[in-house]
Amino acid sequence: MLLSTDLWVSALIRRAELAGAFATVARKGDARAGTVIVKAFDTSNRKARLYSEAFGPDGERLWMQPVQSEFESDLDEYLQRQIGYDPDLWIVEIEDREGRHFITEKVAEPENKPGS
């Protein structure tokens, strides 16, 4: 049984705050079943990453980086497009000196593209 989205988000924010980071809900979606995107901002180098819920080939719930850019403007454009597709979307923003996302579930490593 999965937690409702509002409880999961509350736990994520609490983990971040206990570790000395600042976390907030930037957009609140459906309390029971809304999808979550976590925006982790590294305050030491002023770069950000997004983490979105997904399901692996085996049906396992995991988190992935849907956008490979570390520039906040690119990430914000992606978020605006997703809001248009999913009115129940939650966005959680975390600011941390180490850029940690505080997600405890499996996080997929981004695939290296040829030439990168």
Each residue's pLDDT tens digit, 54-65: 877 887 888 999
The confidence band for 6, taking pLDDT boundaries of 50, 70 and 90, is: very high
- Give pLDDT tens digits for 50-109: 999 887 788 788 899 999 887 888 999 999 999 999 999 999 999 999 999 999 998 987
The alpha carbon of 79 is separated from its chain's Cα centroid by a whole number of angstroms, namely 10
DSSP classification of residue 15 = H
* Confidence at residue 109, expressed as pLDDT on a 0 to 100 scale: 75
Determine the Cα–Cα distance for residues 24 and 33; give it in Å rounded to an integer.
Answer: 19
In the chain, the domains with their CATH numbers are 5-96 (3.40.1530.20)
* Residue 27 structure tokens: 């957009």
The confidence band for 114, taking pLDDT boundaries of 50, 70 and 90, is: very low
* Confidence at residue 115, expressed as pLDDT on a 0 to 100 scale: 44
